[in-house]
A and B are shown apart, each in its own frame.
Chain A
Amino acid sequence: DSGVTQTPKHLITATGQRVTLRCSPRSGDLSVYWYQQSLDQGLQFLIQYYNGEERAKGNILERFSAQQFPDLHSELNLSSLELGDSALYFCASSRTGSYGYTFGSGTRLTVV
């Protein structure tokens, strides 16, 4: 157990729907990062939050949004889902003064 918890582990939904992925960072970590992993695109950085505020944005679609709450957990919202959104979504966390991330085990999203 890495200490980063992601729920749900698996999600199957239909095109056009909206889903929410949840991430609880490791205790003491203020930064949360979201990544999308797919066969054709590899690991793509989506967005970073630090202590509740957006810190950096990557290749995140407008249909996707995220937030980090006061208790530091984060949610990634995916809407108007398309078949191409099927992927593994990873959350990672880090703490100030350390290097590198700790990853969660991911949420596998399948859009049918």
Chain B
Amino acid sequence: AQSVTQLGSHVSVSEGALVLLRCNYSSSVPPYLFWYVQYPNQGLQLLLKYTTGATLVKGINGFEAEFKKSETSFHLTKPSAHMSDAAEYFCAVSGSSNTGKLIFGQGTTLQVKP
């Protein structure tokens, strides 16, 4: 079985500051890990994904995440926050290679202050 814990339901940063959104997972099989972003009144958009290979994954909009098996973590970072990054971010895990269901964390709302 898989599960995801996102630490911090709300994160507030200043524009230009580092963004760090934390995600820890539990999986009985090698995990596939994802970060999605949801803007108000919209669906979820894939930011990045880890399947196999390089543990540092780069995504869209300058975001990246590092898979750390020893820490069972997949934290999302961005060096410099923009106002447009304000949204809700979801970490998800899948234990299957392709068509398996995703289990989502509870989400973290990112606020970016001017």
Residues of A bordering B, CB below 8 Å: 2, 4, 30-31, 33, 35, 42-43, 45, 48, 50, 55-56, 58, 90, 92, 94-106
Q: A42-B107, A43-B107, A99-B32 are in contact. Are A31 and B43 (CB under 8 A)?
A: no
Is the CB–CB distance between B101 and A97 below 8 Å? no
Kindly identify which residue among A42, A56, A95, A100 contacts B49, using a CB–CB cutoff of 8 Å. Answer: A100
Residues of A within 8 A of B104 (CB): 35, 42-43, 45
Residues of B within 8 A of A50 (CB): 99
Residues of B within 8 A of A100 (CB): 32, 34, 46, 49, 94, 102
Docked pose: A48 CA to B51 CA in angstroms: 21
Q: A43-B90, A43-B107, A100-B34 are in contact. Are A94 and B43 (CB under 8 A)?
A: no
Q: What 5 pairs between A and B have smallest CB-CB spacing?
A: A103-B43, A43-B104, A103-B44, A105-B43, A42-B106
Kindly identify which residue among A56, A97, A105 contacts B42, using a CB–CB cutoff of 8 Å. Answer: A105
B98 close to chain A: CB less than 8 A? yes
Closest residue of chain B to A90 (Cβ to Cβ) is B43
Is the CB–CB distance between A31 and B45 below 8 Å? no
- Shortest B58–chain A CB gap in Å is 15
Docked pose: A96 CA to B99 CA in angstroms: 6
Docked pose: A33 CA to B98 CA in angstroms: 13
- Shortest A58–chain B CB gap in Å is 7
